[in-house]
Structure 1
Amino acid sequence: MSVRHDWYQSETKVVVTVMLKDAVGKNYKVDIQPEHLNMTADGYELDLQLYRPVDVSKCSHKAYSTKVEITLAKQVGERWDSLEKKELPPPTAAPPPLHKKDWDSLAKEVEKSEEEDTKSEEALNRLFKKIYSSSSPEVQKAMNKSFSESGGTVLSTNWQEVSKDKVDIKPPEGAEFKKWD
């Protein structure tokens, strides 16, 4: 039988939840060892090699109508990376070659890329300012109305079209517009 289990932890304990309805009626049994957890029920077994040792004398379990909750007391108050100890793969004959990264040159590339983005954004802003400042009041009204009513997704210079109705929001293709309160 396939039964789902999950776990969470605090500094002092790990709680394993086994989703099993009527565990008492299914004759569940829990066996906790310092580095091993085993739970069985009619047609089900959970067998785990624990990531770190537990204090068996402080561990407990309880059956509820839909689950069994197993509380494992950590011997050492440290964060577990996983519930189970992972088996390490057998060592290979030769370790893989190490690739050294030149972090300084990588940082310079990122800075250069950000600088270019900033320059292109500044150029685009200058273009819009130039269009706006050299336009008639009618075109300026159209630009203001279309930009503000569309949430910044539309910029129109046609006042005849914009003045007739509210400007619809038109996000770029593949994007979704979300309104923020």
Structure 2
Amino acid sequence: MSTQQSSTFLSQSRVRHEWYQNESFVIISIFIKNLKKEAVDVYFADRSVSVTVKMPTGSDYSLELDPLAHEVSPKESKFEVLSTKIEIKIKKANIGVRWGVLEGEDALPGSLEKPSEKLSYPSSAKHAKNWDKLEKEISKEQDKPEGEAALNSLFQQLYRDADDDTKKAMLKSYTESNGTCLSTNWSEVNKAKVETKPPEGMIAKKWES
């Protein structure tokens, strides 16, 4: 092995490169410090990228990505030489497609597009659920009054829809029984005072100030 081949091999093994992506670009970072732009040559093709670098030590570094996992747009791809690395931005030919791998066959390409908020998500059940509709139904259930608030709401609804005699019966029975009895029968309530009827196991006592 010649001295030139040996130095090239050593530089290749010591150089680290990484990649990540967004919706539009695949970005490759090659970590070599203190390079001049004229020492770097990057060639873009539809399914490949070729990088050649003249190292500060005098050796050569090259990176061949062929074939890339997906087609790219060479004219819209670019690179930049920074103080700590070379940053290569490869423009995706198909915007929004998530690359599973950088090179070779990508068996399961995904999508980086935002999902619709109102989709019926896949379900193993016989009928898929519309989660947006279900969320609204749950919200309605949570907004329903409970306990004393529910009783007051029911009282108001009954009173609003009742005739005059029913309203009088409701007011008289509820007031005279201290809230323990509610009657809608005026002919019965009108005969006498409505007694307080506490819940079973409890005793009604008069308030002493």
Give TM-score scaled by structure 2 length: 0.39
Q: Which has the larger radius of gyration?
A: 2
